[in-house]
Amino acid sequence: MLMVCFSNLWRTTSEEKRELERLDKPIYNSVRRAAEVHRQVRKYIKRILKPGMLMIDLCETLENTVRKLISENGLQAGIAFPTGCSLNWVAAHWTPNSGDKTVLQYDDVMKLDFGTHIDGHIVDCAFTVAFNPMFDPLLEASREATNTGIKAPPKLIETGVSRLAPRRPLFRTLEKTRWSAGKKNQRWSVWSNVASAKVALNGVWWVPLDDWVLLTSSGFDTALESNKSRLKEAGIDVRLCDVGAAIQEVMESYEVDINGKVFQVKSIRNLNGHSIGRYQIHAGKSVPIVKGGEQTKMEEGEFFAIETFASTGKGYIREDLECSHYMKNFDVGHIPLRLPRAKQLLATINNNYSTLAFCRRYLDRLGETRYLMALKNLCDAGIVQDLVVGIARGGGASSLDLRIGASEEEARRKRAPSTTKARPNLPQKRNEARLPRLASNEARLASDDVRQARLASDEARLASNDVRQASPVLAMPYPPLCDVKGSYVSQFEHTILLRPTCKEVISRGEDY
């Protein structure tokens, strides 16, 4: 049984926690200012959004509004990352490059994901826009799942002397939420939804705390366990895997009817929320949106982006389409470069973005020209391409492409005249009977070739990942992340701060 000591050496008083908050007040004020700008910008954008807008005009309008309201000043204040306006089956990381003519349509589902920062303290917040009410259940699924992920969990602590006796059942009905206490084969229950006030139980006063707590009495120890489902939400000492399980439970309780066909809403299992650091959008911890995952706990003083993705497709994304997002590696040191143009571009990135994400439009705005070769030189060799096909980070085609290619090749072989010569002494009928068998053998060999090509592609991709992890990379590309074509994905996201005394949902507004 897990026992927690209540020695005064470990105690942190409420006054000490309030003092810690006073020390971090400048940080809190900076991120709150950035959040207020985010709220005002998204309120303005929602008023002007309409079908028929060019996506590039939408992004530039939004970004110019952010620059004006936040008083952009280099690395001191500005845009935290490029505006993501991913459409339909594209889940994230798509923004139009210069010259893009994509138009927002009435039946599009657009994820609008943009960030603001002051002194490197980032607010990452996103919402989904759909003009067709047919998609409302899909949006509701991700919105409610995000709200589930950011709810504050109640916690329990014993502040008096336990008077519970072993093997003596005790039941008290106060309100709604169930708590249970006891050793193995020894259980007592109490119901309460009082999360902030004390609860009297057999002479013991209970107030919110976390997980297991030691109860001491004459001759025995008893542990109290809070209701498991209440710990599946974000907060100090909450395990990330529990947050993901709660999110998935809510997300996948929804269905959506699209043009007369009902789809089960799915959580995208390989997309996560994340912790946020100063000038670092992904600070190391990942918040899953499905059950399972790491047992890592959220800690006091951390910032987290709680984001959820609801999909009508497979619930699994791959990299696709033209890459537009890039970001300098946060952990890389000095690396000598050969190309003078690459050195110049790196200096521009350091001065204007440091380790914040950027896109090609931002480089165009700074007056950079003919930078693609230099940008490729800053990235891992073979990763950055004008058009990323399938999962082509490692340069290999997807299994779908291979299957399509194999089918076309097989059809071509069937259409071609047979080059097999019949033996003179064999009847024509026996010769014709052998042709289907030969075609079957050729098809089997073709499938073996496809299988080997697929394995080679996977090995090449894994080898590329190993090389990328082993060698430092100056800049990393972030291609768009897509579910199956024809599906729809919605997203909602908030930034939370785990203060010593409470949890603050920084980006919360009147809209969501």
233 is known to lie in a ligand binding site: no
124 is known to lie in a ligand binding site: yes
Cα separation, 479 vs 385, in Å, equals 10
Nearest to 25 by CA among 504, 495, 356, 355: 504
Q: Kind and range of the H or E element at 47?
A: helix 25-48
Cα separation, 39 vs 66, in Å, equals 10
Question: Which residues have a Cβ under 8 Å from the Cβ of 503 and sit 6 or more positions away?
Answer: 150, 152, 234, 235, 236, 496, 497
Backbone angles phi, psi at 438, to 5 degrees: -65, -40
Nearest to 507 by CA among 35, 153, 60: 35
107 is known to lie in a ligand binding site: no
Integer angstrom CA distances of residue 26 from 31, 38, 118, 349, 495: 9, 19, 11, 27, 18
Any bridge partners for residue 204, and if so which? 201
Tokens 């600070």 belong to 283
Cα separation, 56 vs 358, in Å, equals 15
93 is known to lie in a ligand binding site: yes
Kindly tell me the burial class for residue 169, based on how many C-beta atoms sit within 10 Å of its own C-beta (0-12, 13-18, 19 or more): exposed
Q: How many CB atoms lie within 10 A of CB 449?
A: 14
Backbone angles phi, psi at 383, to 5 degrees: -90, -50
Question: Which residues have a Cβ under 8 Å from the Cβ of 79 and sit 6 or more positions away?
Answer: 63, 66, 67, 72, 114, 115, 116, 117
Question: Which residues have a Cβ under 8 Å from the Cβ of 104 and sit 6 or more positions away?
Answer: 49, 50, 51, 52, 53, 54, 55, 58, 87, 110
Tokens 């067709």 belong to 132
Cα separation, 96 vs 63, in Å, equals 13
38 is known to lie in a ligand binding site: no
257 is known to lie in a ligand binding site: no
325 is known to lie in a ligand binding site: no
Cα separation, 29 vs 120, in Å, equals 13
Residue 119 one-letter amino acid: D
Question: Which residues have a Cβ under 8 Å from the Cβ of 401 and sit 6 or more positions away?
Answer: 389, 390
Binding residues for substrate: 93, 282
Binding residues for a divalent metal cation: 113, 124, 274, 307, 493
Binding residues: 93, 113, 124, 274, 282, 307, 493
